[in-house]
């Protein structure tokens, strides 16, 4: 089943907590700290795969979670959590659904993207050993994983898009010029999903997409307009297929102008793409009628090609023109990307004052708190020293914080104090 949009929740694994442990062996009753670190949480990585054609799998499985890292055990480091590599069709665009912001466009086969990074494993107490702290009795908790509610949107990759009203003959045309076998019948809306076909013509080849028939109001979402128009965005040129013998006896010129108007309303960029006009079903009208109609269409300043998808008449001339346009408009080289899903400045933090006290925001600070064992007094004192070194305590003081004022960081609520 073809599906070109899905809402999916991705969560990378949490890091394992570090261990609190002290060296013990016979004749060494009070050895030093040797607590090991926790393992990293598993990453969520997205891979573009040309063998995938639809987002239907994500309708069945709308939630993916990376494995959690193991906690450190004594002096043995915890194992890393198992990551996930999730394959999507080439042409998938991933958005942050909660922020309504694009994240990545997976436009090349094999392109990888780190969508959610696994949480860092917490340090064991051996990490905190120093000349002034020789027996730390605390360890760090593992960092939480990243969560993303994503909207996956598939935009087909094709060189040529066939556009036109329902029943204009697009499916018949693509079945003649390629190996695609779309459903064909003599009534509108036979095609309800885009069809792709590879055209091998003379010494070249290109991919053609048969777009489902557009209707008036498609640019505003009438029918399935927006879903259909989305797939036109990546094409390098368009072939506007016009039925010269419509069964409803409508005017082919008016039908052509209707679709052109919807394209312009949807996207000025798409409207500016190169395109030609294919007058289809010429086997059903007289030569005199065809010549008069062709003359009217030439007034639009585009190349006009009378064709018959049934008999094959005129199709070679149409394909010659398409190949020539594609030859003169080479696509830009693809750039492979492997980067964090949502770029963020880890060093930034802000302090806001409200009725209850002070709230500190910032991914780095919130993660630091999440990795602190809040039940351990020694760990809390260490956290306070870290906040002091980062300048947070000083800024709270400048904002008027007094002893006992409430300070909130993530899920932590604490009383402000200058004492470490």
The kind and range of the H/E element at 114 are strand 112-116
Q: Is the pLDDT of residue 14 over 70?
A: yes
Helix (H, G, I), strand (E, B) or coil at 94: strand
- Asked whether the whole model's pTM tops 0.75, one would answer no
Question: Of all residues in the chain, what percent carry a pLDDT higher than 90?
Answer: 40
pLDDT attached to residue 227? 59
At residue 218 the predicted structure's pLDDT band, cuts being 50, 70 and 90, is very low
Q: Which tens digits make up the pLDDT trace of 86-101?
A: 999 888 999 999 888 8
Pairing mode of beta strands 160-163, 147-154: unpaired
Q: Which tens digits make up the pLDDT trace of 276-297?
A: 999 999 999 999 999 999 999 9
Top pLDDT among 133 and 303 is at: 303
pLDDT attached to residue 284? 94
Q: Which tens digits make up the pLDDT trace of 30-58?
A: 678 889 999 999 999 999 998 887 888 89
Please state, as a whole number, how many other Cβ atoms lie within 10 Å of the Cβ of residue 418: 13
Give CA–CA dist 411/416, Å, rounded. Answer: 15
pLDDT attached to residue 186? 44
pLDDT attached to residue 419? 63
Q: Is the pLDDT of residue 140 over 50?
A: yes
Pairing mode of beta strands 275-280, 237-243: parallel
């Amino acid at each position: 089943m073809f599906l070109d949009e899905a809402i999916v929740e991705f969560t990378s694994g949490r890091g394992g907590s570090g261990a609190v442990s002290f060296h013990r062996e016979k004749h060494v009753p009070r050895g030093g700290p040797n607590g090991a670190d926790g393992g990293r949480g598993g990453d969520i990585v997205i891979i573009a795969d040309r063998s995938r054609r639809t987002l239907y799998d994500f309708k069945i499985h709308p939630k993916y979670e990376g494995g959690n890292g193991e906690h450190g055990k004594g002096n043995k480091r915890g194992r890393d959590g198992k990551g996930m590599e999730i394959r999507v069709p080439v042409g998938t665009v991933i958005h942050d659904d909660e922020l309504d912001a694009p994240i990545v466009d997976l436009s090349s086969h094999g392109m990888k993207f780190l969508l959610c990074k696994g949480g860092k494993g917490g340090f064991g107490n051996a990490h905190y050993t120093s000349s002034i702290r020789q027996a730390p009795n605390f360890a760090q908790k593992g960092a939480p994983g990243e969560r993303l509610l994503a909207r996956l949107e598939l935009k087909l990759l094709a060189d040529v898009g066939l556009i036109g009203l329902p029943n204009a003959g697009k499916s018949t045309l693509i079945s003649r010029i390629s190996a695609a076998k779309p459903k064909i019948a003599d009534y509108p809306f036979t095609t309800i999903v885009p069809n792709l076909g590879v055209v091998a013509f003379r010494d070249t080849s290109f991919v053609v997409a048969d777009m489902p028939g557009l209707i008036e109001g498609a640019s505003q979402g009438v029918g399935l307009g927006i879903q259909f128009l989305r797939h036109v965005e990546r094409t390098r040129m368009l072939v506007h297929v016009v039925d010269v013998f419509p069964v409803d006896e409508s005017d082919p010129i008016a039908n052509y102008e209707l679709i052109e108007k919807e394209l312009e309303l949807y996207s000025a960029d798409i409207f500016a793409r190169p395109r030609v006009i294919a007058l289809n079903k010429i086997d059903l009208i007289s030569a005199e009628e065809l010549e008069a109609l062709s003359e009217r269409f030439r007034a639009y300043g585009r190349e006009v090609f009378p064709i018959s998808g049934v008999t094959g008449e005129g199709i070679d001339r149409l394909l010659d023109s398409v190949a020539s346009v594609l030859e003169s408009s080479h696509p830009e080289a693809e750039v492979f990307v492997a980067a964090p899903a949502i770029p963020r400045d880890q060093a930034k933090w802000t302090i806001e004052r409200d009725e209850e006290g002070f709230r500190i925001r910032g991914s780095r600070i919130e993660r630091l708190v999440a990795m602190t064992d809040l039940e351990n007094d020694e760990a809390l004192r260490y956290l306070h020293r870290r906040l002091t070194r980062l300048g947070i305590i000083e800024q709270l003081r400048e904002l008027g914080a007094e002893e006992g004022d409430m300070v909130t960081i993530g899920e932590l609520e604490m009383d402000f104090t200058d004492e470490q």
